[in-house]
Chain A
C-alpha cells in the first residue's frame, strides 16, 4: 500500500509572461518501505515535487495523499501537525538549529508535538544511538563535521516513528564516502518501513533507490525497472 501518493499534480509559479510550470500532471506513489529517487536537471521541478509532497507548498492542481489523508483537506495547523508526526525532512545543508545540541535537535519535532522534554530526549538519544552518534549527542552543530550533521538530521527526520522521509540532495555538500554513509542510513530507515523520496541530480545517489523517477521540465518522463538480483551482476562482468 502506498504511503505517499501524488495524483495529477501541477504547480505553476508566477503569471503571464513570468509563468513557470514547475510540475505538470505528475503522478507518483511511494510504498511504505521503499526508496524512490527523483532525478532531473536543475529546474526540472524535482525540489518542488518534494515540497509539495511534504505539505510545505500547495499544488496548483491535483491532490497529495499522505498516509491516506488528502493534504487539501488539512488546515495550516493540520499540515504542521502532519509534518510533526509523519514527515521527516533532510535538506542539502543547513539542517540543524544552531544553539541546540544534537540530541535536542533530534528531540525537537517530538517536543513540538507535545511530548514531554525528558521522554523526547530519551527517544532522541535512542535514535542517535542507532546511527552511531551517541557520544556526539551533546555536541552543538558547529562542533560536528558535515557528515555527522547530516546523520543527526536523518536521525531527526526519522525519530518518533515517522513514516515518510523526504530528502533534497541530502549529500550535496558531502564527499562521496560521507554521501554513501548518508544513503545507507536512509536505506536503513526504509528497511524499517518508512517510505522515502530522495531528490537528486546525482546518479550515484539515485542508484541506491529501489526505483528512479526521471523528471524533465516538470514531467515524469521515465522510470527504472525493478532491479535484478545483485548476483546477476557478477555474471555480467566483462571478461578480459
Chain B
C-alpha cells in the first residue's frame, strides 16, 4: 500500500490540510487501514522534498498547514496508477513454504496440515463475510476492500484444494506422462523479471 501515492491522489482533487488528508484517506479505504498523523506528515515532507507537492505559504506548521499538488506530482500520480504492481515473481508465501516443507518431513499428514490451514482461512473468511452482513456500513470502498481480502483468502483455499487433489492423485499412482518433445523449462521459478 502506497500511502505516498494515495495522498497524491487526494491532493489531485484540490489543496487540502494534513488532518483532512488523514480523514479522507481512512474514509476512502473503508477504514480498513488506519493512518496516524505522524505518518501523514512524514510522507508529506518527503513528497515536498521530491517536488511533488508544495505547501501553501509556509506559515504555520501543524494540522492547519495546506498542501497542493505540483505538475510534477500529477505526472508521477498518472504514471503510478498505470504501472502494474510487480506480480512477476512469486512472493515468499509462508503458507506455500509450510506445505512444501511438510512434504519433505516424515510423519506429517499433509492432508491434515492442509485442512488445518483451510479451516483457519475459512474462519477468517467467515469473519470478513460477517462484516458484509451489516449492509448499513457497507459502502462501496469498504466492499471493494473486503472483497479483495475474501478473494485473496479464497485463492489460498483453492490452492489448498489443489494440493489435496494432487496429493490424492500421486497417492493413487496416477501420473500424466509428460510429452518428451516438450521438456519443462528448468528455470521455473524465474518466469518474470528477477526481483
Contact = CB atoms under 8 A, between A and B. Distances in A.
- Direct A/B contact, Cβ within 8 angstroms: yes
A224 B127 contact: no
B98 to A, nearest CB: 17
B178 to A, nearest CB: 25
Contacts of A232: 127
A209 interface: yes
A209 B33 contact: no
A207 B130 CA distance: 8
Contacts of A204: 125, 129, 150-151, 154
Interface in A189-240: 201-204, 206-209, 212, 214, 216, 221-225, 227-230, 232-234, 237-240
Contacts of B151: 204
Interface string B147-161: 000110110011001
A96 interface: no
A225 B134 CA distance: 21
B131 interface: yes
A228 B150 contact: no
B119 A222 contact: yes
B126 A237 contact: no
A39 B165 contact: no
Interface in B148-195: 150-151, 153-154, 157-158, 161, 164-165
A187 interface: yes
B130 A227 contact: yes
A150 B75 CA distance: 48
Interface string B94-115: 0000000000000000010001
B125 A207 contact: yes
Nearest to A240: B1
Contacts of A98: none
Given A203-B153, A239-B34, A233 B119 contact: no
B122 A225 contact: no
A75 to B, nearest CB: 40
B50 interface: no
B125 to A, nearest CB: 4
Q: Which of A214, A227, A232, A233 has the most CB of B within 10 A?
A: A233
B134 A230 contact: yes
Interface string B106-147: 000001000100110111011111111110000000000000
A100 interface: no
B32 A237 contact: yes
A223 B131 CA distance: 21
Contacts of B115: 214, 216, 221-222
A41 interface: yes
A224 B33 contact: no
Given A204-B154, A230-B130, A240 B123 contact: no
A221 B10 CA distance: 49
A224 B34 contact: no
A41 B129 CA distance: 22
A54 to B, nearest CB: 24
Contacts of B34: 237, 239
Contacts of A202: 154
A237 B128 contact: no
Contacts of A184: 133
Listed from nearest, the 9 A-B pairs whose CB atoms lie closest are: A207-B125, A230-B130, A207-B129, A203-B157, A233-B127, A240-B1, A207-B126, A227-B126, A230-B131
19 contacts: A39-B122, A187-B133, A203-B154, A203-B157, A204-B150, A204-B151, A206-B125, A214-B115, A216-B111, A216-B115, A222-B115, A227-B126, A230-B131, A232-B127, A233-B127, A233-B128, A233-B130, A234-B32, A240-B3
